[in-house]
A and B are shown apart, each in its own frame.
Chain A
């Protein structure tokens, strides 16, 4: 790795020796992914910010514990983030439950969803409505485009577990989004008539 594009490992080593520039470079390279992961897992910007801070504080304190043979530094950071997110969600379970949008489950929900301007919000809500162990594989593999091996390293589970959870999670998502899609189709058919009246 050349000096202009040092690896995560190089930056971490320099950072642990107190090199602030190396830390800044590493932080800028990885903070976005960590922040988005925490946000997509929690649906809460304050939690995402808190988690991002905790992840990098942990790296500052315990970066020497990182073992490259167990996965990439990115996976290591996601793993820390995941633990913090789950703890935060548990801590604020009651509060966040009211903040997370309900996933559509029937005609009324579907009609409600129709009023939203972006169907993307329906997908976001459906992802947030997944149980945490399904949500994390969707966020890592689908939204962060991690391969199964890297996701397995981040989550501390077997590759096959990631794959099977992802399969199940996608089934759940498709099931929950089906009413929205049908409502959208129905709306598309109805709309011209409404527009004429």
Chain B
């Protein structure tokens, strides 16, 4: 064995790890004939002993006893929460917090939506995905709209609420509700609408009436996207 080969087995040799008998013997024989490698081995063996002494010095150390009681309480509370039916259980799942954060913008819209749904002419119209409209008063710019998709009449410039909704066939939709105060469509900008699903529990968390038996079911919504891909407004579809 040469010094280079010795170096590759030094770690296991010094840590008293399992080595093939032949390799161990050859490595030790090399160390006997090579001062440098013998020093390296001695150095590393000493380090092993020092590290084991350090490990022994703390092997009885434990976490403070108060932790155990605190964690038992936490387990109890979680178990109780999981056994509670309905919303409490759902809200223990971390993903719902994320969903809630994302849907916070719906809160304001949800209230407006309920008010408008009860007002004359407030019933929704089509929710077909791909409905495209322009916020400008110019002829509508259609982006990736399916041919059958109805075109929504343009709203006056700078008006945040884009359009009233209309009853159409079987689907009902609310008005579009702006999601961001500062991101209204510019006069020249076109937009397109994409159909998505929103967890029903999200709406429940926002104070909208939701049947808890159907809490896991999604609800449909149309999101209006600007040219930059940022969502500008949303409406709920039934």
Chain A residues packing against B (C-beta within 8 Å): 15, 18, 20, 23-24, 27-28, 31-32, 34-36, 39-40, 48-49, 52-53, 56-57, 60-61, 119-120, 123-124, 127, 138, 142-145, 163, 166-167, 170, 173-174, 177-178, 181
Contact = CB atoms under 8 A, between A and B. Distances in A.
A120 B47 CA distance: 11
Contact of A119 (B50, B58, B61, B74): B50
Majority SS at the chain A contact face: helix
B43 A174 contact: yes
A32 B83 CA distance: 31
A23 B51 contact: no
Contacts of A178: 43
A48 B78 contact: no
Question: In the complex, which of the residues A32, A119, A144 has the most CB atoms of chain B within 10 Å of its own CB atom?
Answer: A32
A56 B78 CA distance: 13
Contact of B75 (A23, A142, A174, A181): A23
B63 interface: yes
A62 to B, nearest CB: 9
B55 A144 contact: yes
Contacts of B58: 36, 39-40, 143
9 contacts: A20-B72, A23-B71, A23-B72, A24-B72, A31-B68, A57-B71, A123-B53, A123-B54, A142-B52
B76 interface: yes
Nearest to B11: A167
Nearest to B43: A174
Contacts of B11: 163, 166-167, 170
A123 B61 contact: no
B63 A31 contact: yes
A55 to B, nearest CB: 10
Contact of B54 (A28, A52, A127): A127
Nearest to B56: A120
Nearest to A28: B68
A6 B64 CA distance: 25
A24 B68 contact: yes
Given A39-B58, A120-B54, A20 B76 contact: yes
B67 A31 contact: yes
B75 A20 contact: yes
A144 B56 CA distance: 10
- Across the A-B interface, the 10 shortest Cβ-Cβ residue pairs: A18-B79, A35-B63, A143-B55, A142-B51, A52-B63, A123-B50, A31-B63, A123-B54, A32-B62, A56-B71
A170 B44 contact: yes
Given A23-B75, A53-B63, A143-B58, 17 more contacts: A23-B72, A31-B67, A32-B62, A49-B67, A53-B70, A56-B67, A56-B71, A60-B74, A61-B78, A120-B50, A123-B54, A142-B51, A167-B11, A170-B14, A170-B44, A174-B44, A177-B47
A15 B75 contact: yes
A53 B71 contact: yes
Nearest to B79: A18
A120 B61 contact: no
A182 B43 CA distance: 12
B182 to A, nearest CB: 33
A173 B79 CA distance: 46
B55 A49 contact: no
Contacts of A57: 71, 74
Contacts of A167: 11
A119 B67 CA distance: 32
A85 to B, nearest CB: 14
Contact of A174 (B47, B62, B82): B47
A123 B47 CA distance: 9
B238 to A, nearest CB: 35
Contacts of B59: 36
Given A36-B61, A166-B11, A143 B54 contact: yes
A31 B72 CA distance: 13
Contacts of A20: 72, 75-76
